[in-house]
Structure 1
Amino acid sequence: MFRELVKDDEIMRYISGKGLTSKQAEDKFNAILEINATPHLGYFKVISLDRQLFLGDCKLVSYKKDPSVFEIGYLLKKRFWGQGIGTKICESMLAMASRINAQKDIVGIIDPDNAASRALLVKFGFESFFLGVEDDVPTEKLILKRT
């Protein structure tokens, strides 16, 4: 499931610029397994409850540049874009973050060209605080201040 999701160039355009190779996907999956060892945080499958379909994945993790902040993220198969699923994912991830620590700020990191992702985060109160290049990738960071 994971490999099929992350090999797609169109899906990964705003994440890594293009789909991952088999080796990159394996390395990413192993990194996810390490992150998922952290209690209450990690990467999660997004499943349609009514049809039991794999839709994509999402994450709530400690932000690697500042562990006092959460980071959320989401990735959906193309056929599920534009159906309000991103809104449901954000609602769930923000609710989970509140249960874990309602005072922690939350960061979302996007490609600056991903207008849909920006609109989704802004809808939940996130504000842009960084626009530039990070790790050789165009990057915009938005934050939801909760303190």
Structure 2
Amino acid sequence: MIFETERLIIRRLNVEDLDAFHKLESNTNVLKYAIGNPKSYIENEIELKALILKYNIPKNDFWVYAIIRKTDNQFIGTVALVKNNLDDEIGYRFLEEFWNQGFGFEVCGGLISYCKKLKMDKIIAYVVDENIGSSKILEANCFQIKNTFINDEGMAETKYELYL
């Protein structure tokens, strides 16, 4: 376990997560505000295995973990902590059936606590402006707007930051 919240466990991904990981990463609604396109089962299998291998790389700066619901040990999404140039960036994705249940707010708060334990000074997050739910989650967790811009996909996006 990496960390836990009231309803969630954050742990390393494993190969048993493949079906749920594929369901997440092949859903056009989930990826609507993300860079990249839905992938095939084989592409997601390759990506999952690559993410798992990163756990053993010294000085890895790209961590993606599984979000598990405590009540039934169900995989419901992923959370990321990655180095973006000099910044520490957080992100999360949920299977569509788990949207609007407060899990985003909960995992964001857990990430903040986890990053404080890692002695990070600041974390950032990027949100496509159309993704109002994610913007509300960050703002409710005291993130401040740093700047806005047009991303590589041509969408308006906002960079948020939080000093820890």
Q: Confirm or deny a common fold (TM above 0.5).
A: yes
Aligned equivalents of 1:126, 1:133: Cα separation in 2? 20
Residues 133 and 20 of structure 1, relative CA distance in 2, 3 Å threshold: farther
Comparing 106-115 with 134-143, which one deviates more in the overlay? 134-143
CA offsets, 1:30-56, max 9 Å, x none?
653465334797111111111111110
Which blocks of at least 5 consecutive residues in structure 2 are unaligned? 1-19
Comparing 53-62 with 111-120, which one deviates more in the overlay? 53-62
- Could you say which structure has the greater relative contact order, defined with CA pairs below 8 angstroms and 6 or more residues apart? 2
Q: 1:53 aligns with which of 54, 74, 97?
A: 74
Contact 1:40-1:100 at 8 Å conserved across structures: no
Q: Which has the higher strand share?
A: 2
Which blocks of at least 5 consecutive residues in structure 1 are unaligned? none
1:122 is the counterpart of 2:139: yes
Equivalence map 1:8-87=2 (5 Å): 8-16=27-35, 18-22=37-41, 25=44, 28-29=47-48, 32-33=51-52, 35-36=54-55, 37=57, 38=59, 42-62=63-83, 64-66=84-86, 69-87=87-105
TM-score (norm 2): 0.74
Contact 2:123-2:163 at 8 Å conserved across structures: yes
Aligned equivalents of 1:107, 1:137: Cα separation in 2? 21
Contact 1:9-1:18 at 8 Å conserved across structures: yes
Aligned equivalents of 1:110, 1:31: Cα separation in 2? 25
Supply the AA of the counterpart residue of 1:4: K
CA RMSD of aligned residues (A): 2.4
Which residue of structure 2 lines up, in the alignment, with residue 88 of structure 1? Answer: 106
Residues 23 and 65 of structure 1, relative CA distance in 2, 3 Å threshold: farther
